[in-house]
Structure 1
């Protein structure tokens, strides 16, 4: 039987496939969930279709790139969170990003600028004495610059570095910060891409690593991706340049 922890998690970008599984799993652990997204109707349908306890889920409108609205959004939360998860993300093909700055700008705004904007507000609220953890969803694409996806990867690299510094900033307040460095996931953002099937993770598998995040800063779900992550970190630049 699930126990009521009395704790609340705020999930930003809650309409992603991984975030939806986080909603379900946090509820199973006894959390109340503030699910924030631009697509409220999709979240309502998810809660209804999965017969989740609607009394424990509050669905809120949140636009990651409407920076001017973030302070008001946070101030008007019905309860301040114990855990905040930034799961919003946007991806365009690298070739398109190189030729159309609008796509690049959208990735920068959703993947990095929006995250910094709202997480700074959450982190700097010293009145929220029960904030205990901030989790950001980053990517293996941000570990090293590779010619196939370096524009998207640069936004994730920036986000990871921000989270690393935020972890140091919040250490004295005993607030944990985690970066989920994630590989391929079977989600709508990756639909149509030619990916190695053996490396694709399911959203509920990734969600388990988020919901059960421990003390480590970098969390890389799946042992295959841990190996790839380690290789990417140590590979000489001359060999990285030969990667797709």
Structure 2
């Protein structure tokens, strides 16, 4: 762990359940963490409740949808990060997104546009010799368009494609870009949804894949979700149209 003592992880959208588990796991591996979120009070409470070392964590305000603030946010960081995790996310059901564009727009801004805005700023700062890795949290919903969730899925599909291109852009600088393509997780964003219990993953399980990401671009936690991922990729459109 000693090699991580002077390394910093920036977690954007750090108030999500998965992101909070990432904080704990990165701290355990001796990284310092900058936890960025709109809800800084919740993060401070989380740090206290879990007796996490304050010396290893800095909590800062970040709003993924306030694009004009992103340059100032990045320039104001106390140290430029070695690892960046984009975990910000927003979800409404498909009918609400279709009937009220304001809901769809918020998903686009948080899930995709905010990521493109801040990650581009970070990635294009060639003066930051620290940067080693960028990890973006995407979703199985973005693999194929399905009538039950295609508005949300479209934001995740776009984000995955952005990360794919960013990976190519940064390859010459030996900076790794990973896309976590994730299925159902037991988190507050999924509360109230009718999900297959046997497929639900715990936040700490998913966080482990983020913290220990290797060089592969697409990372799908859990073997059951890997099977589903490849089935979705290979299914003909006539069968995809029959899915819920």
Alignment correspondent of 1:106: 106
Matched, 1:115 2:145: no
Matched, 1:167 2:173: no
Alignment correspondent of 2:215: 215
Q: Structure 2, unaligned stretches of length 5 or more?
A: none
Alignment correspondent of 1:230: 230
Quick one: distance in 1 between partners of 2:52 and 2:117? 30
Alignment correspondent of 1:43: 43
Q: Kindly report which structure 2 residues correspond to 1:116-131, keeping only aligned pairs within 5 A, or say none.
A: 116-131=116-131
Q: Structure 1, unaligned stretches of length 5 or more?
A: none
Once the two structures are superposed, residues 220-242 of structure 1 have per-residue CA deviations (whole angstroms, 9 ceiling, x without a partner) of: 00000000000000000000000
Q: In structure 1, the residue corresponding to 2:103 is in which secondary structure?
A: helix
Normalising by the residue count of structure 2, what TM-score does the alignment of the two structures yield? 0.99
Alignment correspondent of 1:94: 94
Alignment correspondent of 2:33: 33
Q: Kindly report which structure 2 residues correspond to 1:178-189, keeping only aligned pairs within 5 A, or say none.
A: 178-189=178-189
The 4+ residue runs of structure 1 with deviation greater than 4 A are none
Q: 1:119 Cα deviation (Å)? A: 0.1
Q: 1:142 Cα deviation (Å)? A: 0.0
Quick one: distance in 2 between partners of 1:242 and 1:115? 32
Q: 1:130 Cα deviation (Å)? A: 1.4
Alignment correspondent of 2:6: 6
Quick one: distance in 2 between partners of 1:165 and 1:30? 31
Q: 1:176 Cα deviation (Å)? A: 0.1
Alignment correspondent of 2:80: 80
Q: In structure 1, the residue corresponding to 2:170 is in which secondary structure?
A: helix
Matched, 1:241 2:241: yes
